[in-house]
Amino acid sequence: MEGELLSALCTPALVVDVDKVKRNAQRMIERCQELGVQLRPHMKTHKTIECADIMTGGSRRSIVVSTLAEACFYADHGFDDILYAYSVPFDKVERCAALSERLDLFQVLLDHPDALEQLKKRPLRDGRQWHVWLKLDCGNGRAGVLHSDPEAVRLAQAITEAEGVQLTGVYAHCGNTYNCKGVEQIQAVAQETTSLTLQFMEKLKAIGITCKSSIGSTPSCSHPVKDMAQLSEVHPGNYVFYDVQQSLIGSCSLEDVAVRVLTRVIGHCPHRNQLLIDCGWTGIRLLSMTQEHGRVEPISGPLDYSKYPLGSLLTLIPYHSCATAMMHPVYHVHSEGRLLGKWTPTRGW
């Protein structure tokens, strides 16, 4: 189908504007270069080799993944310096060990002493060390040991003192930027997360511990604050696609969103002033969804059904591109509306 118009696709279909992907990626690369920090892009939004190459500038180095399936997928395709940024699952320690012994640099993340004990029970072969990042909660309220808890410093010290284990860095996710509206609020959260992380690094320095520091989220890295230049790395991911949610937060404009879901009108429902479309649970923001259907209605006034005959093609902007992409086994890549090929993401945990 290469060279054909998007209308040649069967629906529902996820389409990716490769020109916008490249532009979004390049802007982030330049932003990080200006700050003087290492960009470690997160792969969880797209989970493809092609997009990873664009995000890393072809280096195939310094990436973040959210699943071991992603880690193995990228390792199999020549990527290295991979950070598995998910609190070490005890049932997957052996798989983590295999990657640690196979790659030049495979890194894990933990936020509890019990996880450290699991790593100590599985020493790596050939004198290799576990490379560990400490997950810090700086207000996001998800995973991580609380930045102000004395246990955080004690855990960092325990990692440093453990045989066969190295404290590589401190990792904080400022996902609370997703509650923001506008650049001012985004930067306030970014500043708070950065400041708390840097303060924690000073606590470590005071007891003789030095390591890397990293924070990340697409909103904070789309509008970075100056103090982020004092960090070692940042780890945004969604920015390569963006979505409606990011536009509402203030990370981007709708023009920056690189993905769309194509769907066709399959029903007219004038008694409800609605259209029925062939797009169900794909993460888009519709009036309502079931497994294989979606209901669309106008913002105001009655629908003019003559504009939407059965079979009409609609283009929908995903509300959250990570969730939408997850529902599609293949992405149809295009430039200026002409199909170029397909990207196939990895799946599983």
Kindly report, residue by residue over 317-341, the tens digit of the pLDDT: 999 999 999 999 999 999 999 999 9
Task: Report the pLDDT averaged over residues 147-162.
Answer: 97
Listed residue (26, 14, 63) closest to 43, CA to CA: 63
Kindly report, residue by residue over 33-92, the tens digit of the pLDDT: 999 999 999 999 999 999 999 999 999 999 999 999 999 999 999 999 999 999 999 999
Kindly report, residue by residue over 184-193, the tens digit of the pLDDT: 999 999 999 9
Give yes or no for a contact between 66 and 42, defined as CB atoms under 8 angstroms apart: yes
In which band, very low, low, confident or very high, does the pLDDT at 131 lie, cut at 50, 70 and 90? Answer: very high
* Torsion from C-alpha of 149, 150, 152, 155, nearest 10 degrees: -150
pLDDT at 290: 75
Kindly report, residue by residue over 246-273, the tens digit of the pLDDT: 999 999 999 999 999 999 999 999 999 9
Sequence-separated (6 or more) residues with CB below 8 Å from residue 219: 174, 177, 178, 180, 186, 189, 190, 246, 249, 250, 251
Task: Report the pLDDT averaged over residues 216-239.
Answer: 98
In which band, very low, low, confident or very high, does the pLDDT at 285 lie, cut at 50, 70 and 90? Answer: very low
Q: Is the pLDDT reported for residue 284 higher than 60?
A: no
**pLDDT, mean over the chain:** 95
- pTM over 0.85? The answer is yes
Q: How many CB atoms lie within 10 A of CB 178?
A: 19
In which band, very low, low, confident or very high, does the pLDDT at 19 lie, cut at 50, 70 and 90? Answer: very high
Domains, the chain, with CATH or none? 6-11+255-343 (2.40.37.20), 18-240 (3.20.20.10)
Q: Is the pLDDT reported for residue 1 higher than 80?
A: no
Task: Report the pLDDT averaged over residues 206-229.
Answer: 98
Higher pLDDT pick, 12 / 290: 12
In which band, very low, low, confident or very high, does the pLDDT at 219 lie, cut at 50, 70 and 90? Answer: very high
Task: Please give the span between the terminal C-alpha atoms of the chain, in angstroms, as a whole number.
Answer: 31
Listed residue (35, 58, 79, 49) closest to 226, CA to CA: 35
What is the spatial distance between Cα 267 and Cα 341, in angstroms, rounded to a whole number?
30
DSSP state of 184: H
Least confident span in 46-55, 114-123, 136-145: 136-145
Q: What is the DSSP string of 14-77?
A: EEEEHHHHHHHHHHHHHHHHHHT-EE--B-TTT--HHHHHHHTTT--EEEEESSHHHHHHHHHT
Structure tokens of 210? 């030095």
Q: What percent of the chain has pLDDT over 70?
A: 97
Listed residue (168, 164, 174, 142) closest to 156, CA to CA: 168
Q: Is the pLDDT reported for residue 281 higher than 70?
A: no
Sequence-separated (6 or more) residues with CB below 8 Å from residue 303: 270, 273, 274, 275, 297
Task: Report the pLDDT averaged over residues 132-142.
Answer: 92
pLDDT at 94: 98
What is the spatial distance between Cα 143 and Cα 149, in angstroms, rounded to a whole number?
14
Q: Is the pLDDT reported for residue 14 higher than 50?
A: yes
Q: What is the DSSP string of 108-151?
A: EEE-SHHHHHHHHTSPPSTT--EEEEEEEESS--SSSEETTSHH
**Residues linked to residue 342 through DSSP beta bridges, in sequence order:** 332
What is the spatial distance between Cα 63 and Cα 41, in angstroms, rounded to a whole number?
5
pLDDT at 83: 98
